[in-house]
Chain A
Amino acid sequence: MATQPPTSEPTTPKFTARLHSPQLPRWVPWALVAGAVAVGLALHLMVGWGWALTIVACWLGYVVVLVAVSGRVEGRRKAKDRLATSLVTTAFVLALLPLGSLLWQVVSNGLPAINSSFLNSSMRNVVGEGGGIFHALWGTLIVTSLAALMSIPIGLATGIYLVEYGNGRMARWITFLVDVMTGIPSIVAGLFAYALFVIFFGEGVRMGFGGAVALSVLMIPLVVRSTEEMLKLVPNELREASYALGVPKWRTIVKVVLPTAIAGIITGITIAIARVIGETAPLLIICGATDSVNFNPFDGRMMTLPVYIYSQYKNPGFPPEFGIERAWGAALVLTVIVMALNLVARLISYYFSPKTKA
């Protein structure tokens, strides 16, 4: 080697050697996964281990082997990196498992209950089989609409106040209190509505409107926050452009700022509705539960979907299978409503946001 004439030869190999530190081939982790799956199947089918135990054991085996092999070949630092990657990925899978199993349970248990009589009848005079969610659907619709009717104007206007007019003490207080409101436990919102209405209507008051008030306490801060966030995204240049055309401030807000932010605001409002439509606790307190249809939010108990699920579970009637089945059926309907609202929200923000810069 030393007798060869080229001069650059001695330095080059040394440097390349550093660039090519030993590394596991890319197929190794996948091969280990395949191996773990194979061992797992064997343990489950032949030795008779339960699913959960098998999966946990194989996962542990996979991580240990991978880290050991990597430590051998690639060194400690790389092995640590691989361990972290496996753990982080595991965390993600772990988080999705409940979602998957929950959706599966809701669909598989709920689907058999769904038919037109389930959607079209109330629980009046039903003890065992039959009955449905008609009264609860209407109740949810009425209570949630009333809550939205109160929360959207107040939340929207407060958001506008905070972004466009708010500076000084009052704005700081409101920002702080909106934060506090975001953290109010939903059951406390229900108690608040009860404590408020009991003063006017006496002990044991139950009415749909009270539920709407309770939901508003939960919904207003959500609307304020999303309005605030969206208005802050509107570039100041647009406001200035409008002022420079001699447009008064309030018109600038109504005709330039709001239209620019409206898609995002509607998305936020839709998500807020999806959030409160599934609330059980406050409605259990102030709307109560009933078996009959009630269209009047100012008079007496009003059933809602979440409370329906809860009370079908608590008092399933006799025999109890039918009550439990109705609870799952209603859970499926509620889940579909909530997911649909979330989907609509995404679509709105996707299709209707102005494309600010070309």
Chain B
Amino acid sequence: MTSHAVEGTHRPPRSVGDRVFPALVTAAGAVILVTLAGVALFLTYEGLPALTAKAADIPGADSFAAYVWPLLYGTLLASVLALLFAVPVSIGVALFISHFAPRRLASSLGYLVDLLAAVPSIIYGLWGIFFLAPRLVPLYDWLAGHLSWIPFFAGPASVTGRTILTAGFVLGVMVLPIMTSICREIFLQTPRLHEEAALALGATRWEMIRMTVFPYGRSGIVSGAMLALGRALGETIAVATILSVSNVVSLNLISSTNPGTIAANIALKFPEASGIEVNILIATGLVLFIVTFLVNFLARAIVGRRAEFSGAN
């Protein structure tokens, strides 16, 4: 398995170490293959009974699809809201660090943004529920009062602030660092020659960025957003803490009846679940796994295509 690696047509004698060591590290790689196969296999095995469960056994719905749909909707809605907040801000932050901040400060500022990623999600949850949510209530009141003709702000406004909009906002803060670091890296890779060519034509800094940095980094921005989306889809405990869930499908972002998310639903129900309910929750977990896998896969594919593209240059 390992001898294909280096040596030529001859099979020279090799020391014991040179036979044992590659075998060891290859085995470690194999463990990863096995683990992932295990994840897929065990989740499927434990989740399968949910698909064939009797309607009476499924709480609040008459089929698994009907059970999982509002959750999937809520998951997607919260994640899209998160991206709406995170994408513009993180592009700005990345630009600030890569092209606007003083050179000497840039890396420390980047580190500061990375600290956002280090904060455990349960602490975001506490912050969201005790600090942010109450402070957003006046805003929701105002939105419900003045913009209620927009379905998103139909109201009545939640009095606790525990809405899907709050959850989306906190998720946005949480995925900000990932997207920022990817954008920052791509922006910094913009060929210096392109930038200098633009500046030499008399472009202002902003024109230079629009002429060189954005076209070069476009696919990076897209894949960064996808990876952030993947993270937002799977985020559990912050949502479970903040959101008051009532499993509805609704466009209303500021009311106290909100769709739940798959991950938060598992976290909320699992500790007390038993019997077929456990299988149902695991099956929803499998759905979440598949969705995040697809999103991440797409993101990597975009990055991969870009790598090939720029390699040819």
Chain A in direct contact with chain B (Cβ < 8 angstroms): yes
B29, A251: Cβ atoms closer than 8 Å: no
Is the pair A253, B21 in contact by a Cβ cutoff of 8 Å? yes
| Residue of B whose beta carbon sits closest to that of A51 | B135
Q: How many residues of chain B are within 8 Å of chain A by beta carbon?
A: 99
Point out residues on B near A: beta carbons under 8 Å. Answer: 1-2, 4-6, 14-15, 17-18, 20-22, 24-29, 31-33, 35-36, 38-39, 42-43, 45-46, 88-93, 95-97, 100-101, 109, 111-113, 115-116, 118-127, 129-131, 135, 138, 173, 176, 180, 204-207, 209, 227, 230-231, 233-237, 240-241, 263, 266-267, 270-271, 274-275, 278, 281-282, 285-286, 288-289, 292-293, 295-297, 300
Q: B289 is contacted by which of A96, A188, A254, A289 (Cβ under 8 Å)? A: A188
Within the complex, the shortest CB–CB distance from B91 to chain A, in Å, comes to 7
Selected contact of B234 from candidates A173, A185, A309, CB within 8 Å: A185
The CA-CA distance from A37 to B306 in the complex, in Å, is 45
Q: Is A157's CB within 8 Å of the partner chain B?
A: yes
What's the count of A-B pairs with C-beta under 8 Å?
280
Q: Tell me, yes or no, whether A3 is within 8 Å of chain B by CB.
A: no
Closest Cβ–Cβ distance, residue B219 to chain A (whole Å): 17
Q: How far is the CA of A191 from the CA of B280 in the complex (A)?
A: 12
Given contacts A95-B90, A154-B32, contact A280 B120 (CB under 8 A): yes
Contacts of B33 in A (CB 8 A): 173-174, 177
**Min CB gap A24→B, angstroms:** 13
Using Cβ atoms and an 8 Å threshold, which residues of chain A touch B271? Answer: 284-285, 288-289
Tell me which of B4, B95, B116 contacts A168 (CB under 8 A): B4
In the complex formed, the residue of A with least CB distance to B1 is A170
User: Which of A88, A98, A180, A288 is within 8 Å of B95, CB to CB?
Assistant: A88
> Which A residues form the contact surface with B (CB < 8 A)?
50, 52, 77-78, 80-81, 83-85, 87-92, 94-96, 98-99, 101-102, 105-106, 109, 153-158, 160-162, 164-168, 170-171, 173-174, 177-189, 191-192, 194-196, 198-199, 203-204, 217, 220, 224, 248-251, 253-254, 274-275, 277-281, 284-285, 288-289, 306, 309-310, 313, 324, 327-328, 331, 334-335, 338-339, 342, 346
Q: Are B274 and A203 in contact (CB under 8 A)?
A: yes
Residues of A within 8 Å of B209, CB to CB, are 84
- 5 example contacts (A-B, Cβ-Cβ < 8 A) are as follows A92-B96, A180-B293, A182-B296, A187-B236, A334-B123
Q: Choose one: B90, B109, B206, B282; the contact of A81 (CB below 8 Å).
A: B206
Measured in the bound complex, the distance between the Cα atoms of B178 and A275 in whole Å is 13
Contacts of B43 in A (CB 8 A): 188, 191-192, 195
- Whether B176 contacts A179 by the Cβ 8 Å rule is no
- CB of B24 within 8 A of CB of A157, answer yes
Q: Are A188 and B285 in contact (CB under 8 A)?
A: yes
Q: CB-CB < 8 A to A90: which residues of B?
A: 92
Cβ of A85 and Cβ of B100 under 8 Å apart? yes
Measured between alpha carbons, how far is A161 from B125 in the docked complex, in Å?
Answer: 39
B23 vs chain A, min Cβ distance (A): 10
Contact of B236 among A106, A171, A185, A309 (CB under 8 A): A185
Residues on the A chain within 8 Å of B31, using CB: 154, 158
Query: What separation, in Å, do the CA atoms of A154 and B30 have in the docked complex?
Result: 10
Contacts A165-B2, A195-B46, A249-B6 given; does A310 touch B236 at CB 8 Å:
no
